[in-house]
Amino acid sequence: MKDLLKFYLESFFRNQKYFAPVFVLFLQFHHLSISEVFMVLAAGSIAGFVLEIPTGVVADIFGKKRSLIIARIAVFASYVVFGLSDTFWMFVIANVLFEFGWAMRSGTEGAFVYDFVVQHNDRIRLHFTELRSRQKFFDVLGSSFAAFVGGIIALFYGFNAVFLVGAVPALASVFIVASFSEIKERRERPGMISSIKHVRSSLNELRGKRMLVMIILNATLFSSAFAVINGFMQPYMVEAGIGLEWFGIIYAATLAAAAFGALYTHRIEKRIGGLMSLNIISMLAFVPALVIGLGHVSLFGVILLMTVIVVHKVRLPITSNQLNLRMGSGNRATLGSFNSMSKYIGSSIALPIAGFVAEIFSMHTAMLIFSLVLLVNFTVFYLRQEK
């Protein structure tokens, strides 16, 4: 049980993004245009794309726990750089550093937890999805707390201060991960030949599993559209007349709802099936994006957009489980990185396009375009149960 408490405590600390309610406003405060804001976001996505496979290979060969420690250190460092920055290129550097940390973590953490459950299930007696759902609950609960506090910090102490405060729980996360129990895994000294062989082995496994590829493509389109929608949330709230003092409260309430939704994700998956759950969630995200894309501006529109955050958080543990069910343990972190890399590719393409469209036309036009991406995801990449 001590290991589970560490998982939950680390989940609570790791995603305390005090900057979440004000990140776009923070960049605009430092005189970045909306297209430059999306270029900062895209730079992080491009870095994540480049780093995903190498970090996954390192995790599979060098050790998943070691990779997780490096990931947490990088995120901590990025918060410090953000907090001390006030120019476009410094923001780019900070975001690249942040995405490096998330690239090290993305496929690796799910693989580490999955192997931990398999190796210790006689002691913890938990299904992987249930454990991931509980982790997501504490993760989003921490995000909710940070969003509430972050809005207050930004209001009274300035935008940069939210990053420096966020560095404290990020540092705590480093030490908690370092205390995780070890899992049985092969470890080698990373080298060019062994890395190339490992990537080839992972690709061969990917080629033979059509549904695994379909889930990755489905997740890519969804996450790309979500990245755009999430990027426009704060400018939309300003357009709807929401005061800065309410930003943290609204984000905190939304994330609290998402935390409880994520907590019961395993029940949703068990009742209607993992693949059907992913299909339904895609459609639930399409409706708010379409309404906003058609030009609706109101408090109701803000509520609609916040539901997209909720369904996104609920979707993540289900996606993780459906992917890990179809992966071999030896390639799990690398295959997880393939999934994350495809998301980075999608975001790297989607974010600059959205920023350009918003600059030339409007953010509503950009939202309309990406609501159609969600519709395509629901129809073209509809996930059917395997026979």
> What is the pLDDT averaged over residues 216-220?
86
Q: What is the distance between the alpha carbons of residues 59 and 76, in angstroms, rounded to a whole number?
A: 19
What are the structural domain ranges in the chain? 2-178+192-380
Burial class (CB in 10 A: 0-12, 13-18, 19+), 207: exposed
Average pLDDT over residues 158-187: 88
pLDDT greater at residue 123 or residue 172 = 172
* pLDDT above 80 for 199: no
Selection from 48-57, 76-85, 132-141, 280-289 with the highest mean pLDDT: 76-85
pLDDT of residue 50: 75
In the chain, what percentage of residues exceed pLDDT 90?
A: 33
Mean pLDDT of 335-344: 67
CA-CA-CA-CA dihedral for 354, 356, 361, 367, to nearest 10: 0
Domain 2-178+192-380 CATH (choose: 3.10.129.10, 2.30.30.110, 3.30.590.20, 1.20.1250.20)? 1.20.1250.20
What is the share, in percent, of the chain residues with pLDDT greater than 70?
Answer: 84
- Of 140 and 179, which is predicted with more confidence? 179
**How far apart, in whole angstroms, are the C-alpha atoms of residue 31 and residue 45?**
22
Q: What is the mean pLDDT of residues 40-65?
A: 76
The Cα–Cα gap between 313 and 323 comes to 16
Assess whether pLDDT exceeds 70 at residue 186.
no
pLDDT of residue 192: 54
pLDDT at 173 over 90: yes
pLDDT at 77 over 80: yes
Higher-confidence residue of 22 and 136: namely: 22
Q: Residue 257 has what pLDDT?
A: 83
- pLDDT at 191 > cutoff 80: no
Assess whether pLDDT exceeds 60 at residue 293: yes
Structure pTM? 0.73
What per-residue confidence (pLDDT) applies to 387?
58
In tens, the pLDDT along 236-267 reads: 999 999 988 898 889 888 888 887 777 777 77
Q: What is the pLDDT of residue 64?
A: 81
| pLDDT, average across residues 60-68 | 79
Candidates 69, 330, 52; CA nearest to 188 is 330
Predicted confidence at residue 297, as pLDDT, reads 93
Residue 97 predicted with pLDDT over 90 = yes
pLDDT at res. 353: 93
The larger pLDDT score, comparing residue 70 to residue 197, is at 70
Helix, strand, or coil (residue 250): helix
How many Å apart are CA 239 and CA 4, to the nearest integer?
43
Above 70 in pLDDT, residue 94? yes
Whether 304 has a pLDDT exceeding 70, the answer reads: yes
What integer pLDDT is reported at residue 234 of this predicted model? 92
Q: Are 6 and 173 in contact (CB under 8 A)?
A: no
Least confident among 172-176, 322-326, 353-357: 322-326
pLDDT score at 20: 86
Average the pLDDT over each of 57-71, 182-196, 228-242, 270-284 and give the range with the smallest value. 182-196
Q: Check whether 45 has a pLDDT greater than 60.
A: yes
Predicted confidence at residue 237, as pLDDT, reads 94
